[in-house]
Amino acid sequence: NAGVTQTPKFRILKIGQSMTLQCTQDMNHNYMYWYRQDPGMGLKLIYYSVGAGITDKGEVPNGYNVSRSTTEDFPLRLELAAPSQTSVYFCASRVVPEKLFFGSGTQLSVL
Protein backbone atom coordinates (compact mmCIF):
# COMPACT_ATOMS: atom_id res chain seq x y z
CA ASN A 1 0.00 0.00 0.00
CA ALA A 2 1.27 3.47 -0.87
CA GLY A 3 -1.01 5.11 1.72
CA VAL A 4 -1.66 8.80 1.05
CA THR A 5 0.24 10.27 -1.89
CA GLN A 6 0.55 14.00 -2.43
CA THR A 7 2.03 15.86 -5.34
CA PRO A 8 3.93 18.06 -5.86
CA LYS A 9 6.31 18.17 -2.89
CA PHE A 10 7.38 21.75 -3.55
CA ARG A 11 5.98 24.56 -5.63
CA ILE A 12 6.60 28.26 -6.07
CA LEU A 13 3.75 30.33 -7.45
CA LYS A 14 3.51 33.92 -8.49
CA ILE A 15 0.72 36.04 -7.04
CA GLY A 16 -2.46 35.47 -9.02
CA GLN A 17 -1.49 32.09 -10.44
CA SER A 18 -3.58 28.98 -9.86
CA MET A 19 -2.63 25.41 -9.17
CA THR A 20 -4.00 22.08 -8.02
CA LEU A 21 -2.50 19.97 -5.26
CA GLN A 22 -3.15 16.32 -5.89
CA CYS A 23 -3.99 13.77 -3.21
CA THR A 24 -4.67 10.07 -3.66
CA GLN A 25 -5.17 7.32 -1.11
CA ASP A 26 -5.34 3.59 -1.73
CA MET A 27 -6.76 2.51 1.63
CA ASN A 28 -10.44 2.89 0.65
CA HIS A 29 -10.90 5.53 3.34
CA ASN A 30 -14.15 7.43 3.14
CA TYR A 31 -12.93 10.52 5.02
CA MET A 32 -10.33 12.79 3.44
CA TYR A 33 -8.96 16.12 4.65
CA TRP A 34 -6.81 19.03 3.59
CA TYR A 35 -4.84 20.89 6.25
CA ARG A 36 -2.44 23.77 6.12
CA GLN A 37 0.33 24.33 8.61
CA ASP A 38 1.97 27.71 9.01
CA PRO A 39 5.38 27.99 10.71
CA GLY A 40 5.15 27.27 14.43
CA MET A 41 1.45 26.58 14.23
CA GLY A 42 -0.78 23.56 14.41
CA LEU A 43 -2.84 22.10 11.62
CA LYS A 44 -5.79 24.07 10.34
CA LEU A 45 -8.52 22.36 8.38
CA ILE A 46 -9.23 23.77 4.93
CA TYR A 47 -11.77 21.32 3.52
CA TYR A 48 -12.86 17.79 4.17
CA SER A 49 -14.93 15.09 2.51
CA VAL A 50 -16.92 12.24 4.02
CA GLY A 51 -17.21 10.37 0.76
CA ALA A 52 -17.31 10.69 -3.01
CA GLY A 53 -19.44 13.62 -4.08
CA ILE A 54 -19.56 15.19 -0.60
CA THR A 55 -17.31 18.01 0.54
CA ASP A 56 -17.52 20.64 3.25
CA LYS A 57 -15.60 23.66 4.50
CA GLY A 58 -13.24 23.60 7.41
CA GLU A 59 -11.81 26.49 9.44
CA VAL A 60 -9.92 28.28 6.64
CA PRO A 61 -11.59 27.57 3.25
CA ASN A 62 -11.26 31.00 1.63
CA GLY A 63 -9.19 30.95 -1.54
CA TYR A 64 -9.47 27.19 -1.99
CA ASN A 65 -11.76 24.69 -3.68
CA VAL A 66 -11.99 20.92 -3.61
CA SER A 67 -13.76 18.11 -5.39
CA ARG A 68 -14.24 14.43 -4.60
CA SER A 69 -15.30 12.56 -7.69
CA THR A 70 -13.86 9.23 -6.49
CA THR A 71 -13.10 7.63 -3.14
CA GLU A 72 -9.38 7.73 -3.90
CA ASP A 73 -8.81 11.32 -5.06
CA PHE A 74 -9.25 14.63 -3.27
CA PRO A 75 -7.55 17.48 -5.15
CA LEU A 76 -7.20 20.97 -3.66
CA ARG A 77 -7.42 23.91 -6.02
CA LEU A 78 -5.87 27.29 -5.29
CA GLU A 79 -7.33 30.09 -7.34
CA LEU A 80 -5.57 33.47 -7.58
CA ALA A 81 -2.72 32.59 -5.24
CA ALA A 82 -1.86 35.13 -2.54
CA PRO A 83 1.20 35.40 -0.24
CA SER A 84 -1.06 34.45 2.69
CA GLN A 85 -1.36 31.00 1.14
CA THR A 86 2.34 30.33 1.61
CA SER A 87 2.27 27.29 3.85
CA VAL A 88 2.79 23.55 4.07
CA TYR A 89 -0.25 21.59 2.94
CA PHE A 90 -1.12 18.11 4.16
CA CYS A 91 -3.68 15.74 2.82
CA ALA A 92 -4.96 13.06 5.19
CA SER A 93 -7.48 10.25 5.23
CA ARG A 94 -9.07 7.88 7.67
CA VAL A 95 -11.91 5.59 8.52
CA VAL A 96 -13.76 7.10 11.46
CA PRO A 97 -13.04 6.63 14.37
CA GLU A 98 -9.52 5.50 13.57
CA LYS A 99 -6.33 7.54 13.26
CA LEU A 100 -5.48 9.94 10.47
CA PHE A 101 -2.98 8.90 7.83
CA PHE A 102 -1.04 11.83 6.38
CA GLY A 103 0.56 12.45 3.04
CA SER A 104 4.14 13.74 2.92
CA GLY A 105 3.11 17.36 2.43
CA THR A 106 3.46 20.10 -0.16
CA GLN A 107 5.58 23.14 0.59
CA LEU A 108 4.03 26.07 -1.27
CA SER A 109 5.50 29.53 -1.59
CA VAL A 110 3.59 32.39 -3.20
CA LEU A 111 5.81 35.27 -4.23
Site residues (vs other proteins, CB under 8 A): 31, 33, 40-45, 48, 50, 56, 58, 90, 96-105
* CB closer to other proteins, 45 vs 82: 45
Backbone angles phi, psi at 42, to 5 degrees: -80, -170
Give whichever of 85 and 94 is closer to other proteins, judged by the CB atom: 94
CB of 64 to other proteins, least distance (A): 15
Element (H, E) at 35: strand 31-37
Q: How many CA atoms lie within 13 A of 10 on its CB side?
A: 0
Of residues 58 and 75, the one with the C-beta less far from other proteins = 58
Judge whether 88 and 37 are in contact, CB under 8 Å. yes
